[in-house]
Amino acid sequence: MFIQVKDAVKKYGKDNSLVYALNSANLEIEESEICVILGPSGSGKSTLLNVLGGLDSLDSGSVVIDGKEITGLNARQLTEYRRSDVGFVFQFYNLIPDLTVKENIEVVSDISEDPLDVEEILKALGMEQYKYRFPRELSGGQQQRTAIGRALIKNPKILLCDELTGALDSNSSAAVLKYIEKVNGEFKTTIIIITHNEDIRHMADRIIRIKDGKVVSNEKNNHKLSVENIEI
């Protein structure tokens, strides 16, 4: 199994204010899957994503990714893990305003061991014609596609997406998700999307539901649809 989380516990506060963000959470995700994680606000989705990305640590339990246990890594090793194995896409794009689309995507390639070709990324994301534009000249959907490109160029094993369509209208959301689908098909990247949007689950290979810090279901989607057949 490509990703395994076992008995994951993450607590905040103490005594009467103790909160379990993750409470003995368990899950498995196969390589090259699109996995959609659903749950209400405060259910532990973002904490789980941060743990998978090496941005947060567990109080107990284990996380194994591609045979590597990341829960025991020191700060230097975690930095290397984030740099080489993980790409992040957030709801807000965090593009550098004075760099073009192409430059924003390329900005992390210098610290990557095996970066993808920027022109290949631009083509895959439908951004070739916009590569010399600045963020202020782009729509929200185009900015998000640029952010996806920046995460992809370092050729990560995992792409972690936190509410990536949360700030977009339905048309822009559908366009971004089509490119996520295309990226998964072309580069075989394992993609994990956390979202409140139930409709997005239809594009997933695997659907995970989390509530009160526990994984309450983890199922293969036997009725997967292409994004063009989903109402977002």
**Which tens digit of pLDDT belongs to each residue from 152-204?**
998 899 999 998 888 888 888 888 899 899 989 998 999 999 998 999 999 99
Q: Could you tell me what percent of the chain has a pLDDT over 70?
A: 100
- How far lies 223's CA from each of 5, 201, 210, 231, in Å? 25, 10, 21, 15
Specify the pairing of strand 3-12 against strand 214-220: unpaired
Residue-number span of the structural domain to which 90 is assigned:
3-229
Model pTM greater than 0.85? yes
- CATH number of domain containing 152: 3.40.50.300
Distance, CA of 103 to CA of 81 (rounded, Å): 23
State the total domains in the chain. 1
**Which tens digit of pLDDT belongs to each residue from 195-216?**
989 999 999 999 999 999 999 9
Distance, CA of 7 to CA of 63 (rounded, Å): 9
What is the 3-state composition of the chain as percent helix, strand, coil, each rounded to the nearest 5? 35, 25, 35
**What phi and psi values does residue 211 have, to the nearest 5 degrees?**
-145, 130
**Which tens digit of pLDDT belongs to each residue from 20-60?**
999 999 999 999 999 999 999 999 999 999 999 999 999 99
Three-state SS for 214?
Answer: strand
